[in-house]
Amino acid sequence: MYKELVNYLIDLVKINSIFGNEKEIADYTQNILTNKLKNVIRFNNSLIGYNDLDNTKKTIGLIGHLDTVPVENELTGKIIDGKLYGLGASDMKGGLAVMLYLIDYFMSRESRFNLIYVFYEKEEGPFNDNGLQPLLEKYGDILKNIDLAFVLEPTNNEVQVGAVGTINAEIIFRGKKAHSARAWQGENAIHKSWKLIKRVNDFGIKEYPFSFNIGNRKINITFYELMNITVAKSEGAKNVIPDYFYLNINYRFSPSKTLEEAKEDIINTVKGEDAEIKFVDLAPPGKIPNKNEILLDFISKFDLPVKPKQAWTDVARLSLFNIDAVNFGPGDPSQAHQYNEYIPVENLYKSFEYLKEFLKF
């Protein structure tokens, strides 16, 4: 029964689609959509596919990115011990395969929802290069119809709600060069940073609990805020007092905060230091759609586990456009970006069955 589903994934992992190189996989996907859906839009290497929308029905979005990160995989397309190997197998070509197989399934059957399928480029890179953003801006008249979006990122078929926001901030300390034998003639930019490094180290892990009800079932989840220095860099010879030191602070913050509030957290952490702050990458958090009736029905129907998304995904970008969304996909999150990445084949089957059963009449 699932042979074509597995074949879709084998085809997909055999196509090189490392970030910025999505043309071939977009061509492959477009060819399938064009033969099976009434409306297909291509913008650069991103695609939207759907049949005519019935305004008496609610609309579900099924959304997945086409690109991968550049990691080696020596077992591409092979199935070993129930695991299908290939770059992107879990993150997130398994989700794409499920989407394509759902298109096949509903070609000859009616869904109780309108279905809009979105395949987009450049998710694995900088926030501002992401291929979903121009689709939301240019084709918002179509995508705004979505009442709930399933982003098929790897979740092991758990429903993962929300998404932590992310900020990267460059902190630059400046000093004065001198010979290290006469260090008093200079000012060591690295030494100036120690108080800030300690302050970030002492930030710890801050818990932000959320709870909501699904019928008689109470859902309790907790997001974690963390602040870490992820890059440290200086320049110069080994016998020269450095006049420049650069730190990158990576801040993961709760969905309960705005970007501006999170920026203020970093500003307060650096406050009092003789340093410059430059915010270079800001990604807002994803909201928790705990009042969305479609989502509550989906979770209740299958009694699915609900977890927080302790990472950033495009659920957050959809939130900016007032589209409720959750992460729900067949991939194994622990396999994302790993050498010889794989997906448990059983996960594919289960993901398809959950979505098929929920979407059909």
Residues classed as catalytic: 67, 123
At 150 the three-state DSSP class reads strand
Nearest to 247 by CA among 281, 278, 226, 205: 278
Whole-number Cα distances in Å, 109 to 115, 210, 263: 12, 38, 49
Could you give the CA distance from residue 360 to residue 191 in angstroms, rounded to a whole number?
63
CB proximity list for 182: less than 8 A, separation 6 or greater = none
Token pair 């709600």 is found at 161
89 DSSP 8-state letter? I
Could you give the CA distance from residue 253 to residue 224 in angstroms, rounded to a whole number?
7
Could you give the CA distance from residue 331 to residue 344 in angstroms, rounded to a whole number?
8
β-strands 165-174, 275-283: how paired? antiparallel
Q: Count CB-CB contacts under 10 A for residue 291.
A: 9
Q: What is the DSSP string of 181-248?
A: GGGGGSB-TTGGGHHHHHHHHTT-EEEEEEEEEETTEEEEEEEEEEEEEEEEEE-S-TTEE-SEEEEE
Could you give the CA distance from residue 221 to residue 76 in angstroms, rounded to a whole number?
36
Nearest to 152 by CA among 96, 101, 100, 216: 96
Nearest to 274 by CA among 194, 201, 186: 194
Contact 239, 179 (CB under 8 A): yes
Tell me how far the alpha carbon of residue 14 is from its chain's centroid: 22
127 DSSP 8-state letter? G
Give residue 125's identity as a one-letter amino acid code: G
